[in-house]
Amino acid sequence: MLLSKIIRPTILQVETTNDCILNCRICMRRKMRRPVGYMDFDEFKKLPLNGFEEICLHGWGEPLLHPRIFDFVRYVKSLGKKASLCTNGFLVEEKIDEIFESGLDELAFGLYTLKGRDKVLKAIEEVVKEKKKRGKGPTIYLDVTIFRESVEEIPEIVKFGIDVGVDGIVLHRIFNIYGVEPGIEYIDSKTEKELFRKVKEIGGDKVYLPTKHTIPCRVVLFTIFVTWDFKQFPCVFLHDREDAYLGDARTDLKTLLDRHISFVKRMRKHEICRKCFW
């Protein structure tokens, strides 16, 4: 009874597609065993969307590849819910009008390097300019992954975001428990502390730092994840694990929540959750 009162996810993270135009060396897609596919829009409506405050329309893929992504956004908004998505940025410029006209509430750009990202940086600048021009639009974030090789670039990424005028910069730790590529490792605590100090000096309150990991973690406390083929998982990082599959997500809210809480009760014993520090 106590867990059911504490654990009440307000965010439903929906993977509209796990297809992508990139093959980033830090991305878990490189180890993905699931087939690539696109969520059916009409079936999407069968999810218990009204039971959540926010619907995040992204997972292990590039959501702007989905030909009906803005239908998803508009439908979420028609329910009075918050709609958000995270993009690698490569398709943003050609979809700027749709981004603003759809009513999207939050747009995050995933970045872990500046190398080869000129098109993305230009897209970020264009979206910020368009928002100023229109006087309204989505809250714009940079979503920055921290790992050993990115440490030197991160202050530069943060400075870019501040100079351009994004609304916030979210830093999070690399999640490489599955070993997507040898050598992709997190930094030590001393380096982390120094990095956090530097980025806060640059970005102040616009920089959001990762918090200390706990079990239950902030992910399962606030979010339920659904794959493009409507499979329910307790966490986006468990998307490819049979021992974390909770059932078809096209069900009622109570069933969805009961399954989720059942996993949380045993998550301390799960081999991935025990190792996680995200």
pLDDT at 176: 64
- Between CA 48 and CA 13 the distance in angstroms is 12
pLDDT at 258: 94
pLDDT at 107: 98
Query: 18-44, pLDDT tens digit by residue?
Result: 999 988 888 777 778 889 999 999 999
Query: Count of alpha carbons within 13 Å of 208, Cβ hemisphere only?
Result: 10
Query: Residue 82 in 3-state DSSP?
Result: strand
pLDDT at 273: 78
Q: Which domain holds residue 154?
A: 2-275
Query: Residue 78 in 3-state DSSP?
Result: helix
Q: Please give the tally of structural domains in the chain.
A: 1
pLDDT at 232: 97
**Residue 74 φ then ψ, to 5°:** -60, -35
pLDDT at 170: 97
Is the pTM higher than 0.75? yes
Spatial contact of 228 and 59, defined as CB atoms under 8 Å apart: yes
* Residue with the two structure tokens 């530069």: 156
Q: What angle do CA 4, 237, 265 make, to 5 degrees?
A: 25
Spatial contact of 208 and 159, defined as CB atoms under 8 Å apart: no
| CATH code assigned at 133 | 3.20.20.70
Q: Which of the residues in the chain have pLDDT under 50?
A: 1
Distance set, CA 113 to CA 34, 57, 73 (Å): 27, 23, 28
Query: 6-18, pLDDT tens digit by residue?
Result: 778 999 999 999 9
- Between CA 272 and CA 179 the distance in angstroms is 12
